[in-house]
Structure 1
Amino acid sequence: MPRQQQPARPVRRRSYDQFCATARALDSVGDRWTLLIVRELLAGPRRYTDLHADLPGVSTDVLASRLKDMEQGGLAVRRRLPPPAAAAVYELTEHGRGLLPVLTALGRWGAPALGERRPTDAVRAHWFALPLLRALDGVTHSGVVEVRLAEGEFHIRTGGEDAGGEVYGYGPAGHPDACLVLDAEVVLALGRGECTLAEAVGEGRAEVLGEGPLAAELRGGRSPRI
C-alpha cells in the first residue's frame, strides 16, 4: 500500500529566541526588504505590481514571501478593491503603521551616509518624504503639501496626529493646501537639520506656492505672494 502522505508542517520563521524586545522586533522586521516594504505601504494601499516596481532589486519570490510574513505577523493585510478596480492591494495594519517612528529614526541615523548619488542608485520621489516630514515636524497648521522634485511628485500631511490619513502619498495631491518646489539635495539638507525651510525659501533654494495659513507658515510666517 502506498504510504499516506503526511500534511505539510507550517514553516517556522527564524527567530533569535531571545527574551528581548529588540530581538522580538527583529524577528518581525529584521529580514531584508521588510522595512522597505513598510516604507512603501506607509503611503497607502499598493498593488503587488506597484510594490515590485518601486522596490528595484527585489525578486518576485522574495517580495511574495515578505508580504506573506508581514500578513502572518499582523503588519499588513491583503484585500480586494471593489469594482471597477477589482484589484488586490496590500496595506499596513495599525500595528504596521506604528513603524513610522522607527523608519524616521533609521533614516535620520543613515542620512550622513547619503553623499553623492552613485550611478547604480535607484531613486523615487516619495523616498524623500520621510526626511521632509522630519523637517516639517514643528509645523502647526494641518494640511496637505504637494512636493515637486525633479524626480517626481509626492504629497505629505502636516499637523501630526491631527492630520488624519496616511502621512504621505504618491504623486500630486488632488487639492493641496500648499505646493513646495525644491530639489532632492535641499530635502536632504532639511532632513539633516542643516537649514530650515524658511532659510531655504529666503535663499531661493525652495519655493512655496499657494495661499492660506499653511503656505504662509511654510514661508516662515510671511504673507502669501500675490
Structure 2
Amino acid sequence: MPTSRSYGDACGIARALDVVGERWALLVVRELLLGAQRFSDVRRALAGASSNLVSDRLRELGERGVVRRRKLPPPAGSWVYELTEWGRKLEPIVLALGAWGVRVPLPPAPATLSATSVLLYLRSSARPDPKAPPAIYRLELDDRVWTIRTADAQVQVELGEPARADASLCTDPRTLNALLDDPATLDAAMSDGNAAATGDLPALRRLLRAVTTP
C-alpha cells in the first residue's frame, strides 16, 4: 500500500528514511544501480513483493525525486525506470549497507538472488590482475544481457550487448554466485547444463578468480 508516513524528526538520517526507509524501497534502488529497468525486470528481481507493492514503491520514489520513468526510443518503445542524479548518490550508501550485511546469517532456502545483486558483488569484490590484458565479456542472466569490462585492475558492468566480446557466459544468478565462490566448478557447471561458455575461456576463468570473498 502507498504510504506518506514520516518520522517527524529533523535529523538528516530520519529525513532520508522518510524517503527510502519503507520496506522494499532500497531494494528497488539496488535493482536500478546498474541501469534502467522495465517494471517486469524489477518485479521479477523482487520475488517476495507483490506487483502492487513494487508499483507503489516506484511511484513513491518517483514523487520524491529518486526515480524517474521514461520511454525508450523506437524500436524498443518500452517504459523503463532509472535513478535520477540525486538517486544515484544512494549507490555508495547501498553498497556500504551490503558490505555491512554480509555478517548477517543467510535467510532459509530458497532465497531470492537477483542478477543485479550478484553483479554488484562481482563489481565491488573483483580485483583483476593489473598485468592482465583488458577484456570484454558478454554475460547473459535471466534472459538479460550484460557487458563486463576489465582493464587497469577495474571492473565495469553495464546493461546491454557488447559490440564484441572476448568470452561469453550464459547462466543464472545463483550459478554465477557459486562460480564466483569457487571458479574451479566452471567445467562442472558447463557439463551439467547450468552454464554455457564460449570464447576465451582462460580470460573468463581469470574474471571468476578475480573475486575476493570478504
TM-score (ref. length: structure 2): 0.66
Aligned match of 2:36: 45
2:40 counterpart of 1:82: no
Checking the alignment, whether the CA contact within 8 Å between 1:107 and 1:130 is kept in structure 2 is no
Query: Conserved in 2, the CA contact under 8 Å of 1:148 and 1:154?
Result: yes
Deviation at 1:83, TM superposition (A): 2.6
Post-superposition offset of 1:124 = 3.0
Name the counterpart of 1:131.
121
Deviations along 1:67-101, one digit per CA (max 9) or x if unpaired, are 11111111111111223322211111111122111
Q: Which runs of 5+ in 2 are unaligned?
A: 188-196
Counterpart residue identity of residue 131, structure 1: Y
CA–CA distance in structure 2, aligned partners of residues 177 and 90 of structure 1: 30
Whether contact under 8 Å (1:145, 1:178) holds in the other structure is: yes
Secondary structure of 1:83's aligned partner: coil
Q: How does 1:30-179 map to 2 (within 5 A)?
A: 30-113=21-104, 115=106, 118-136=108-126, 144-146=136-138, 154-157=146-149, 167-169=157-159, 173-176=162-165
Aligned alpha-carbon RMSD (Å)? 4.1
- Over the matched positions of the two proteins, sequence identity in percent amounts to 33
Q: 3-state SS of the aligned residue for 2:69?
A: strand
- Residue pair 1:125, 1:153 contacting (<8 A) in 2 also: no
CA distance in 1 between partners of 2:51 and 2:209 (Å): 46
Q: Do the aligned partners of 1:125 and 1:154 also contact (CA within 8 Å) in 2?
A: no
Distance 1:99 1:156 in 2: 22
Q: TM-score, normalised by structure 1?
A: 0.64
Unpaired runs of 5+ residues, structure 1, are 1-10, 190-199, 222-226
Structure possessing the higher relative contact order (Cα contacts under 8 Å, 6 or more residues apart): 2
